[in-house]
Amino acid sequence: MTQTLIQQLRSERPLIHNITNAVVMNYTANGLLALGASPIMSNAVEEAGDVARLADGLLLNIGTLNEHQVEAMLEAGKAANEAGVPVVLDPVGVAATSYRAEACRKILSTVNVDVIKGNAGELAFLAGEKVETKGVDSGEASNTEEIVLKVSEVYQTMAVCTGKTDVVGYNGEIFKNDTGHEWLSKVTGSGCLLGAVLTAFLSLPGDRVVNVQTGLYYFGKAAEHAASLPHVSGSGTFVPAFIDALGAEEEVGR
Ligand SMILES: Nc1ncnc2c1ncn2[C@@H]1O[C@H](COP(=O)(O)OP(=O)(O)OP(=O)(O)O)[C@@H](O)[C@H]1O
Ligand SMILES: Cc1ncsc1CCO
């Protein structure tokens, strides 16, 4: 199953429109390229609708937001919905400021989002819980199953909560993924790249839950493989090995 979807992704090379944060643009583009997708990073409101219509998937990531970017996200999101292009929202640091919270509220009330992917603190906030925020890093939450089910129901979407175990909530059901490595959490933008990777998997035909599960599994397996290599000794040497593993033909995640 994993192999078939990866092969399909590589033969279709889906175009992924990323309206994402300044910290992770390069890492995201390289990760998508390695995976076999085709990234375009575009923030301009003037072309947001055109690029989204052209794309096979749209990622909205609020990590380094400004007013122009919010407008671009709304335009791109509306165009994607009209064209049937899947949309993923990464509500980076949404609990940290009222500006981020208001931007998410606007996006979620204007755009039909297929997946909301965040860490426990971000999703707990969207579920209406009181959250101890640490900026863009995850806060604590023990009740992640409850949280993803609530986010999924309130926003009529699939909710993906990342962490040591990733927890997915959709249509009242829970799915879990245990692949991954702790060094992912020591590299800024791992979650952001995962959002782009899940957008690429969602652009493929087939069951959306299976596609998202496969994306989570494959991403984590690539991390496990990279971390196991003898020359990889920490989060710095891990990054290039992880990019390689995302693009590997053999031995990863099969
Ligand atoms: N302790 C861990 N062990 C294994 N995998 C982990 C661990 N922590 C996070 N991950 C994996 O790292 C990836 C990113 O998840 P994380 O929750 O760190 O995202 P994030 O906080 O949104 O990251 P960022 O804001 O830096 O993009 C996911 O694939 C997740 O499964
Ligand atoms: C560190 C950081 N700050 C805003 S976005 C971002 C990337 C990880 O979410």
The sign one gets for the Cα dihedral 126, 128, 134, 137 is negative
Q: Which residues contact 205 (CB under 8 A, 6 or more apart)?
A: none
The pLDDT value recorded for residue 205 is 96
How many domains are there within the chain? 1
DSSP tag of 142 = S
pLDDT digits (tens, 9 = 90+) for 67-85: 999 999 999 999 999 999 9
Domain that holds residue 219: 2-247
Tokens of 187: 């590299």
Q: Rounded to the nearest whole angstrom, what is the distance from the C-alpha of residue 159 to the centroid of ligand 2? A: 20
Tokens of 56: 């096979």
Q: Rounded to the nearest whole angstrom, what is the distance from the C-alpha of residue 205 to the centroid of ligand 2? A: 31
Is 252 domain-assigned?
no
Q: Which of 19, 20, 24 to mutate to test the pocket of ligand 2 (most atoms within 8 A of CB)?
A: 24
Question: Is the ipTM beyond the 0.95 threshold?
Answer: yes
Task: Give rounded-to-5 percent helix, strand, coil for the chain.
Answer: 50, 15, 30
Tokens of 225: 């493989």
pLDDT digits (tens, 9 = 90+) for 88-103: 999 999 999 999 999 9
Is 196 domain-assigned?
yes
Task: Give 162-183 as a DSSP string.
Answer: ESSSEEEEETTEEEEE----GG
Q: Is 185 in the pocket of ligand 2 (CB under 6 A)?
A: no
Is 9 domain-assigned?
yes
Q: Which of 62, 117, 188, 193 to mutate to test the pocket of ligand 2 (most atoms within 8 A of CB)?
A: 188
Q: Rounded to the nearest whole angstrom, what is the distance from the C-alpha of residue 94 to the centroid of ligand 1? A: 16
The pLDDT value recorded for residue 208 is 96
Tokens of 64: 């380094």
**Chain position carrying tokens 């990531």:** 61
Is 253 domain-assigned?
no
**CA 211 – CA 158 distance, rounded (Å):** 12
Is 254 domain-assigned?
no
The pLDDT value recorded for residue 240 is 98
**Chain position carrying tokens 């998410």:** 104
The pLDDT value recorded for residue 135 is 72
Is 210 domain-assigned?
yes
CATH number of the structural domain spanning residue 135: 3.40.1190.20
pLDDT tier for residue 212 given thresholds of 50, 70 and 90? very high
